[in-house]
Amino acid sequence: MKKQNSTASESWIELHLHLDGAITPEIAKKLAILQNIELPTQNTCELQNLLQVPSNCQNLNDFLQCFALPLTLLQTKIGISEAVFLVASALEQQQVIYAELRFAPQLHTQKGLSQEEIVLSALEGVKRSPIPLNLILCCMRGENTHNANLETLCLAKKYLVAHGGVVALDLAGAEGLYPTTAYQDIFAQAKQMQIPFTIHAGEAAGADSVATALSFGAKRIGHGVRSFENPAVLKQLQQSQVALEMCPTSNRQTNAIHNMQQYPLISYLNQGICVTLNTDDMAICGITLADEFCYMQENFGLTDGQKLRLLQNAANAAFTDEATKRYLHQTLQTTYQTKI
């Protein structure tokens, strides 16, 4: 894949990025030194192989295995707050002007931190972010996650802000094994508490999962790539303008779409669906957001106009306040008005 020309002035917006999927070898080394943790190797290439999804990855379940090593570095207050800061700093270097970083507090309790301590640590990192940054708290699909999910829900309510902190809730994990319908009670409460939420849906499971997430009241859908399996779901997305957080490289790696030549992003865009483009897990996927746009341009003929549309959709769909949205739209206009 051709890398994006780093000298070009760009303004990217990242709405779907997992903290534990954003730990590059450089960040991993810094976090290891800071916490006196011994990594399996100091060699950057070998570390990259450990942190990046293998080429023979078969499905989402295989893909999720790759998170084990980064998670070992994200189990202390300093580790979590520094990771948020370092990822935000890497995003700034990549010309990302706004990002939403998501993580599941319940995955960071291995050394005894409470979910609340974990959220507070991440908020410390947000305070030091060089770019406008917000957090999304993930509930997890899985066995026996109910109580932990309820705790995450309550923390999302307690720390919810319009900008500069926790802005939304999510549902992550193995969608093929644990259907979206099983999480109705969590999102009924989230809706009642007026916590905005996105849900990973239509990735490892089909369009029905997207329909379920929409029925819960999701403001955005994580992936939603398989929505085309039901035209009624596509129509609902088009009419509601609920945004899809699409991540093509991640979908290719997890085999969410068997024939990538039929990747539906452009088709969705042409149908008036509010599509956005994201990395999902920039370190585990081995990409940047610039690479992802480049991939769509080279393989699917994404035009400059469509690129701007994707970015404007992201500005509209961001879980942030109106002032930040205005800033994002103005920055997009300044960056791209002379090119398009």
Which of 95, 163, 87 is CA-nearest to residue 128?
A: 87
Nearer to Zn ion, 82 or 280 (CB): 280
Phi and psi torsions of 117, nearest 5°: -60, -35
**Minimum gap (Å) between residue 256 Cβ and Zn ion:** 11
Please tell me the count of residues contacting Zn ion according to CB under 5 A: 1
Count of CB atoms within 10 A of residue 208's CB?
17
Binding to Zn ion by residue 280, rule CB under 5 A? yes
**Minimum gap (Å) between residue 41 Cβ and Zn ion:** 27
170 contacts 293 by C-beta, under 8 angstroms: no
Nearest 10 degrees: Cα torsion 293, 263, 284, 169: 90
**Minimum gap (Å) between residue 91 Cβ and Zn ion:** 16
Rounded distance between C-alpha atoms, residue 207 and residue 20, angstroms = 27
Rounded distance between C-alpha atoms, residue 16 and residue 221, angstroms = 10
**Minimum gap (Å) between residue 70 Cβ and Zn ion:** 14
Active site residues: 203
Count of CB atoms within 10 A of residue 192's CB?
9
Nearer to Zn ion, 10 or 203 (CB): 203
Position of minimal CB gap to Zn ion: 280
Q: Could you tell me the strand order of the sheet in which 275-277 lies? A: 198-201, 220-223, 243-246, 275-277
Q: Locate tokens 């008036």: which residue?
A: 272
Query: Binding pattern to Zn ion, positions 185-214, x when CB under 5 A?
Result: ------------------------------
Nearer to Zn ion, 280 or 291 (CB): 280
**Minimum gap (Å) between residue 303 Cβ and Zn ion:** 26
Binding to Zn ion by residue 170, rule CB under 5 A? no
Binding to Zn ion by residue 292, rule CB under 5 A? no
Nearer to Zn ion, 63 or 336 (CB): 63
Q: Which stretch binds Zn ion (CB under 5 A): 146-154, 184-192, 272-280, 288-296?
A: 272-280
Q: Which stretch binds Zn ion (CB under 5 A): 134-142, 189-197, 266-274, 280-288?
A: 280-288
- Structural element, H or E, at residue 79: helix 77-93
Chain positions contacting Zn ion, by CB under 5 A: 280
